[in-house]
Chains A and B, each alone.
Chain A
Amino acid sequence: MTRHLPALALLAALAALPFGIGQDPYLLNALITTGIVTIAAMSLNLLLGFTGQLSLGHIAFFGIGAYVSALTSLGFDVELVGGLRVVHEPWPPVAGFLLAVLATASCGYLVGRLSFRVRGAYFVIVTISFAEVVRLVALNWVELTQGPLALTGIPPFSLGLPGLGTTVLRTKLQNYYLVLVVGTVCYALIARLVASRFGRAMRGLKENESLALSVGIDATRTLTVAAVISAAMAGAAGSLYAHYLRIIDPDVFLFSTTVTMVIMVVGGGKGTLLGPIVGGLLFGLLPVALRPVMVPEAQWMVFGLVLIAIQFAMPRGIVPGLARLVARRRAPAAASRVIVEVRS
Chain B
Amino acid sequence: MSDTPILSVEHVGVRFGGLVAIADLHFDVHAGEIVSLIGPNGAGKTTAFNVMTGFLKPSQGQVRFRGTSLQGLQPHEIVRLGLGRTFQRTSVFPDDTVFDNVMIGLHRQGRARVLDTLLGRDRAGEAHLRERARDLLDWVGLSARAGEKAGALAYGEQRLVGVALALATEPAMLLLDEPVSGMNASETQLFVRLIRSIRDRGVTLLLVEHDMPMVMEVSDRIVVLNHGRLIAEGPPAAIRADPAVIEAYLGTGSAGRTAATETADA
Give me the interface of A with B, judged by CB distance under 8 Å.
189, 192-193, 196-198, 200-201, 203-204, 207-208, 210-219, 225, 229, 338-339, 341-342
Number of interface residues of B (CB under 8 A): 45
CB atoms of A192 and B118 under 8 A apart: yes
Contact digits for B77-113, partner A, Cβ 8 Å, 1 yes 0 no: 0011000111100111111100110011111101010
Q: Does B40 contact A (CB under 8 A)?
A: no
CB atoms of B104 and A212 under 8 A apart: yes
A216 surroundings in chain B (CB, below 8 A): 76, 79-80, 107-108, 169
Contact digits for B143-164, partner A, Cβ 8 Å, 1 yes 0 no: 1101100000000000000100
Q: Does B53 contact A (CB under 8 A)?
A: yes
- Which listed residue, A189, A193, A229, A341, touches B147 by the CB 8 Å rule? A341
- Which listed residue, B100, B105, B122, B146, touches A215 by the CB 8 Å rule? B105
For the complex of A and B, 4 pairs with smallest distance between CB atoms:
A338-B147, A213-B75, A197-B110, A196-B117
A212 surroundings in chain B (CB, below 8 A): 93, 104
Q: How far is the CA of A297 from the CA of B83 in the complex (A)?
A: 59
- Which listed residue, B79, B99, B112, B118, touches A197 by the CB 8 Å rule? B112
B127 surroundings in chain A (CB, below 8 A): none
CB atoms of B147 and A339 under 8 A apart: yes
Take A201-B104, A216-B108 as given contacts and tell me if A211 and B118 are in contact as well, using a CB distance cutoff of 8 Å. Answer: no
Q: Does B166 contact A (CB under 8 A)?
A: yes
Q: Does B114 contact A (CB under 8 A)?
A: yes
- Which listed residue, A217, A229, A339, touches B76 by the CB 8 Å rule? A217
Which residues of B from 201 to 246 have beta carbons under 8 Å from A? none
User: Separation in Å of the B106 CB from the closest CB of chain A?
Assistant: 8
CB atoms of B144 and A342 under 8 A apart: yes
Q: How far is the CA of A229 from the CA of B94 in the complex (A)?
A: 26
- Shortest Cβ distance from A271 into B: residue: B95
Q: How far is the CA of A189 from the CA of B74 in the complex (A)?
A: 30
Q: How far is the CA of A211 from the CA of B84 in the complex (A)?
A: 11
**Other A-B pairs beyond A192-B120, A207-B93, A207-B95, 6, CB < 8 Å:** A193-B117, A196-B122, A213-B75, A214-B87, A339-B147, A342-B147
Of B55, B75, B162, the most chain A CB neighbours within 10 A belong to B75
- Shortest Cβ distance from A214 into B: residue: B85
Q: Does B22 contact A (CB under 8 A)?
A: no
- Which listed residue, B86, B94, B162, touches A207 by the CB 8 Å rule? B94
A197 surroundings in chain B (CB, below 8 A): 107, 110, 112, 117, 122, 125-126, 129
User: Separation in Å of the B47 CB from the closest CB of chain A?
Assistant: 14
A225 surroundings in chain B (CB, below 8 A): 114
CB atoms of A193 and B118 under 8 A apart: yes
CB atoms of B95 and A211 under 8 A apart: no
Take A192-B120, A193-B117, A342-B144 as given contacts and tell me if A218 and B104 are in contact as well, using a CB distance cutoff of 8 Å. Answer: no
CB atoms of B143 and A215 under 8 A apart: no
Q: How far is the CA of A146 from the CA of B100 in the complex (A)?
A: 52
- Which listed residue, B99, B104, B112, B126, touches A203 by the CB 8 Å rule? B104
Q: Does B25 contact A (CB under 8 A)?
A: no
CB atoms of A215 and B90 under 8 A apart: no
Q: How far is the CA of A61 from the CA of B118 in the complex (A)?
A: 21
- Shortest Cβ distance from B108 into A: residue: A216
CB atoms of A203 and B74 under 8 A apart: no
Q: How far is the CA of A213 from the CA of B165 in the complex (A)?
A: 11
User: Separation in Å of the A9 CB from the closest CB of chain B?
Assistant: 22
CB atoms of B166 and A215 under 8 A apart: yes
> 15 A-B residue contacts at CB 8 Å?
A193-B117, A197-B117, A197-B122, A201-B107, A204-B93, A208-B94, A211-B87, A213-B55, A214-B79, A215-B104, A216-B80, A229-B114, A339-B147, A342-B144, A342-B147
B90 surroundings in chain A (CB, below 8 A): 208, 210-211
Q: Does B48 contact A (CB under 8 A)?
A: no
CB atoms of B112 and A196 under 8 A apart: yes
Q: Does B168 contact A (CB under 8 A)?
A: yes
Take A208-B90, A208-B94 as given contacts and tell me if A200 and B143 are in contact as well, using a CB distance cutoff of 8 Å. Answer: no
Q: How far is the CA of A144 from the CA of B14 in the complex (A)?
A: 56
Q: How far is the CA of A212 from the CA of B146 in the complex (A)?
A: 19
CB atoms of A208 and B93 under 8 A apart: yes
Q: How far is the CA of A342 from the CA of B86 in the complex (A)?
A: 25
- Shortest Cβ distance from B146 into A: residue: A342
CB atoms of A217 and B107 under 8 A apart: yes
B75 surroundings in chain A (CB, below 8 A): 210, 213-214
CB atoms of A342 and B117 under 8 A apart: no
B126 surroundings in chain A (CB, below 8 A): 196-197
